[in-house]
């Protein structure tokens, strides 16, 4: 096995922590000696041992106390993230690596956590350990894209998603509820919902469409994503389907809302003026461990997120239909122009006759 294989094995191990480690990153570690693996580990659960420590423990369990000590001396650690240099819930990994007298560390990317961000690498180098950074960095960034945005921008990772016709319409101006994308695209949307810890819509959609806003199949989803409704004029709340199955609901509004009493512990009302609404929401979500938002709003919500630079990915499903002059565009002209200059295409997929394009925002903003 080569260095490339070892670093790709760290990514495979890291993925075992998916869904269990947030808001921490997914991290895997492989320790080698003379080209052979002597220990493997990954971060298994939030608050528990880090990948490097688990890999050292794995080596000790496999080879016993004395032999592992000998093997770990002058070994090489492969990790998909810079080893941490801080004591938080767990001790600093740099101390553990220095402690076993490793010779070299190969890591994919710097830790974006401002408390670490290069300090781990410096600490290792100062202790005489050789450090290489950058192996499989694209894959490592993609794997921990939510963690990176959380740390860098102090806000949740934001994906905007909508379905449009060939003439860029998301529906009719006067009529609600028309179906644009096909069943396969809709199934894909369910997969995207599962990847996000919250879903956001506008008050108009709540009032007029009364959606459930759940991840499906509901019987198989243990924790539903939080539901976020932004705007004014929500209609009669008590009759809304969003209360039928939910873990938490956030209302962001300048109105004072009266929420059904029996749900009050699972509902957060963020009263805002127009300027600070989203920032207050982002802070509240991060505090409660909701690290990502899927924006499923209509024209005004989509446009405002784009104009503020509050999105990291944009997913557009295009179906081969034309709605013409009675149609409603996905965004206003200003947002349309911004999209063209700030995004780059990440991937293109086909779902029957529909096309899904995923864009990345090169100029995303923090709060």
Phi, psi of 282 (to 5 degrees): -60, -45
Which option in Zn ion, ligand AOF, none does residue 292 bind, with CB closer than 5 to 8 A by kind? none
Task: Give the pairing type, strands 198-202 and 292-295.
Answer: parallel
- Spatial distance between the Cα atoms of 229 and 307, rounded to a whole number of angstroms: 19
What is the closest distance, in whole angstroms, from the C-beta atom of residue 22 to ligand AOF in the complex?
Answer: 11
What is the closest distance, in whole angstroms, from the C-beta atom of residue 83 to Zn ion in the complex?
Answer: 6
DSSP code for 224 = P
- Spatial distance between the Cα atoms of 206 and 255, rounded to a whole number of angstroms: 15
Compute CA distances 168 → 133, 156, 295, 319, 356, whole Å: 43, 28, 18, 9, 13
Please identify, using beta-carbon distances, which residue of 29 and 335 lies nearer to Zn ion.
Answer: 29
Which option in ligand AOF, Zn ion, none does residue 13 bind, with CB closer than 5 to 8 A by kind? none
Binding site for ligand AOF (CB under 6 A): 24-25, 27, 43, 50-52, 81, 83-84, 88-90, 93, 111, 113, 116
Which option in ligand AOF, Zn ion, none does residue 237 bind, with CB closer than 5 to 8 A by kind? none
Query: Binding of Zn ion at residue 227 (CB under 5 A)?
Result: no
Task: Give the pairing type, strands 327-329 and 267-271.
Answer: unpaired
Please identify, using beta-carbon distances, which residue of 89 and 210 lies nearer to ligand AOF.
Answer: 89
Q: x/- contact string, 4-43, with Zn ion (CB under 5 A)?
A: ----------------------------------------
Please identify, using beta-carbon distances, which residue of 121 and 200 lies nearer to ligand AOF.
Answer: 121
| Residue 132 annotated among the catalytic residues of the structure | no
Compute CA distances 70 → 64, 129, 330, 358, whole Å: 10, 17, 63, 49
What is the closest distance, in whole angstroms, from the C-beta atom of residue 27 to ligand AOF in the complex?
Answer: 3
- Spatial distance between the Cα atoms of 55 and 214, rounded to a whole number of angstroms: 38
Which option in ligand AOF, Zn ion, none does residue 9 bind, with CB closer than 5 to 8 A by kind? none
DSSP code for 317 = E
Give 279: exposed, middle or buried? Use CB within 10 Å, 0-12, 13-18, 19+: middle
> Do 199 and 205 touch, CB atoms closer than 8 A?
no
Please identify, using beta-carbon distances, which residue of 88 and 254 lies nearer to ligand AOF.
Answer: 88
> Do 234 and 207 touch, CB atoms closer than 8 A?
yes
Helix (H) or strand (E) holding 319: strand 313-319
Please identify, using beta-carbon distances, which residue of 291 and 343 lies nearer to ligand AOF.
Answer: 291
Task: Using alpha carbons, select from 271, 272, 338 the residue that is nearest to residue 304.
Answer: 338
Rg (CA), the chain: 23
DSSP code for 196 = -
Which option in Zn ion, ligand AOF, none does residue 88 bind, with CB closer than 5 to 8 A by kind? ligand AOF
Which option in ligand AOF, Zn ion, none does residue 43 bind, with CB closer than 5 to 8 A by kind? ligand AOF
What is the closest distance, in whole angstroms, from the C-beta atom of residue 58 to ligand AOF in the complex?
Answer: 13
Out of 52, 82, 296, 313, which one is annotated catalytic? 52
Q: Which range, of 79-87, 142-150, 190-198, 351-359, touches Zn ion by CB under 5 A?
A: 79-87
Q: Which one of 59, 84, 109, 301 is in contact with Zn ion (CB under 5 A)?
A: 84
Q: Which one of 93, 160, 203, 339 is in contact with Zn ion (CB under 5 A)?
A: 93
Tokens of 347: 């991937």
Q: Tokens 């294989």 identify what position?
A: 5
Please identify, using beta-carbon distances, which residue of 16 and 308 lies nearer to ligand AOF.
Answer: 16
| Residues lying near Zn ion in the complex (CB under 5 A) | 50, 84, 93
Residues labelled catalytic: 52
């Amino acid at each position: 096995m080569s260095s490339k294989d070892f670093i790709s094995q760290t990514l495979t191990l890291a993925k075992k922590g998916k869904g269990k480690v947030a808001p921490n990153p997914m991290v895997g570690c492989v320790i080698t000696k003379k080209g052979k693996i002597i220990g493997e580990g990954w971060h298994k659960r939030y608050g528990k041992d880090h990948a490097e420590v688990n890999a050292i423990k794995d080596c000790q369990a496999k080879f016993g106390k004395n032999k592992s000590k000998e093997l770990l001396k002058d070994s090489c650690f492969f990790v998909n993230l810079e080893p941490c240099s801080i004591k938080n819930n767990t001790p600093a990994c740099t101390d553990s690596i220095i402690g076993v007298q490793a010779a070299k560390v190969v890591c994919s990317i710097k830790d974006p956590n401002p408390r670490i961000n290069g300090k781990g690498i410096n600490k290792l180098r100062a202790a005489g350990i050789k450090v290489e950074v950058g192996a499989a960095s694209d894959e490592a960034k993609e794997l921990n894209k939510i963690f990176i945005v959380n740390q860098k921008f102090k806000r949740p990772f934001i994906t905007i998603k909508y379905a449009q016709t060939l003439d860029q319409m998301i529906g009719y101006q006067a009529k609600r509820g028309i179906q644009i994308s096909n069943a396969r695209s809709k199934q894909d949307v369910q997969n995207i919902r599962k990847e996000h810890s919250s879903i956001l819509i506008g008050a108009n959609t709540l009032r007029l469409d009364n959606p459930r806003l759940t991840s499906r199949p509901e019987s198989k989803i243990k924790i539903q994503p939080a539901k976020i409704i932004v705007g004014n004029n929500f209609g009669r709340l008590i009759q809304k389907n969003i209360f039928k199955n939910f873990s938490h609901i956030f209302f962001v509004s300048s109105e004072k809302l009266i929420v059904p009493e029996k749900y009050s512990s699972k509902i957060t009302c963020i009263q805002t003026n127009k300027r600070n609404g989203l920032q207050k929401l982002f802070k509240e979500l991060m505090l409660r461990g909701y690290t990502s938002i899927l924006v499923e709003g209509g024209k005004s919500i989509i446009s405002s997120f784009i104009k503020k630079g509050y999105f990291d990915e944009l997913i557009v499903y295009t179906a081969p239909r034309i709605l013409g002059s009675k149609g409603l565009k996905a965004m206003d002209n200003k947002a349309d122009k911004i999209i063209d200059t700030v995004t780059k295409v990440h991937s293109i997929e086909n779902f029957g006759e529909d096309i899904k394009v995923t864009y990345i925002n090169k100029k995303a903003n923090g709060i």
